[in-house]
Structure 1
Amino acid sequence: MGGPCRLKAEAEKLATKAPDCTDNFQVRPFNFDGQEWQSVEQRYQAQKFLDATFKEKLRLMEKGSGESDSQHGMRVWSEGQRGRDLRPDWEAVKVEMMYRANLAKYLQHGDLQADLLATGDAQLDGAASTKWVMKSGQTVGWSPWNGLIQTRIREELKPVSAQDSDLLESLRKQFEDYLVCQGGNQLPIPGVGS
């Protein structure tokens, strides 16, 4: 689920809007496994399903004349709630899928990399979004995960000499722990690093 992240400096009580690149609804076409997608949200919604025809229907949803990125994203999100034939391991892989779609977008747009890196070391939190209950009974949601995805990618985009290796290791472990806690992947995970 989309929405721009928020930047929060330690001394500030209120968060400010992060760059548009942190919004999963942002329309910036990118290729993922040889196909063009309009937004991270569009690719994410399509990855949920095994039905190739439905995936293609989602992929072909382009931004309409006069439609904002947010409106397009909500239309794609809404269509993604109607699909059937969900991946059997979706609850386990969905965070990794969102990360990989975001990473693919950044790797293909140098200006978006620069925008994300310009946030420095500010804390990134996702906007209010959907929540779900894990197998452990813990309730989690996209608000913290979207912030963690952007933070991880920001750290990975830095030159190795500038990376906070402890932070990066901790972030990668959180993603791996989530995948394992939810039962792991039963099917291959497409995209970057597959």
Structure 2
Amino acid sequence: MTIYFYTTNDKYGCFSNFSPYGIELDGFWWKTTEHYFQAQKFIGTPYLEEIQQAKTAKQAATMGRDRKRPLRKDWEAVKDGVMRKAVLKKFETHEDIRAILVSTGDEEIIENAPGDYYWGCGKDGSGKNMLGRILMEVRNKLR
């Protein structure tokens, strides 16, 4: 059985970066892993703290995707590592969702994001599903 997730109110909604599980990383408290991930695009700029302060994950995502803010030069090279670090920290921090992740056994985990062909599977399932892959890596680490 393959496990699909996308929205925070799905059965596996806690796998979403928008789910309300905060983490402490790099000296800040982040309301969600989405806040952390988006802010890392702007290390060393005031945008980092603006995104950290965003009221919702959706707001943090919108701010992080706004190309009026200049992306750090190495973003493409570091983004997978940033995501890995945030997701691992989230499941190390919150025992309840760690148990849910580990309970998925060896099932494939897919972010069913129709508009995202990198982190998700995309509309036609041809996407890279990097978030799903990272979740499966983290699951193996936490066992």
TM-score (ref. length: structure 1): 0.61
1:118: Cα distance to partner? 1.1
Shift of 1:37: 0.2
Which ranges of structure 1 fall in alignment gaps of 5 or more residues? 1-6, 10-14, 63-71, 132-140, 159-194
Structure 2 equivalent of residue 109 of structure 1: 94
Contact 1:46/1:58 (CA < 8 Å) preserved in 2? yes
Aligned counterparts of 1:122 and 1:93: Cα–Cα separation in 2: 27
Describe the superposition over 1:45-102 as per-residue Cα deviations: whole angstroms up to 9, x where unpaired.
000013431100110113xxxxxxxxx3222111112252321110111111111111
Q: Percent identity?
A: 31
Match of 2:142 among 137, 157, 172: 157
Question: In structure 1, what residue type is equivalent to 2:52?
Answer: R
Do 1:48 and 1:90's aligned partners in 2 also have CA atoms closer than 8 Å? Answer: yes
Asked if 1:50 corresponds to 2:43, the answer is yes
Query: For residue 8 of structure 1, what is the aligned residue in structure 2?
Result: 2
2:74 maps to which residue?
A: 89
Given candidates 16, 34, 46, the residue that maps to 1:41 is 34
1:126 correspondence with 2:114: no
Counterpart in 2 of 1:78?
Answer: 62
Aligned to 2:125: none
The secondary structure found in structure 1 opposite 2:24 is strand
- Equivalent residues, number: 129
5+ residue gaps in structure 2?
121-128
Q: Which residue of 1 aligns with 2:53?
A: 60
Q: RCO greater where, 1 or 2, for CA within 8 Å and sep 6 or more?
A: 1
Aligned residues of 2:52 and 2:60 also touching (Cα < 8 A): no
SS in 2 for 1:48: helix
3-state DSSP of counterpart to 1:107: helix
Deviating above 6 A after TM superposition, structure 1's stretches of 4 or more consecutive aligned residues are none
Answer with 1 or 2: which has the greater Rg: 1
| TM-score (ref. length: structure 2) | 0.81
Aligned-residue Cα RMSD (Å) equals 1.9
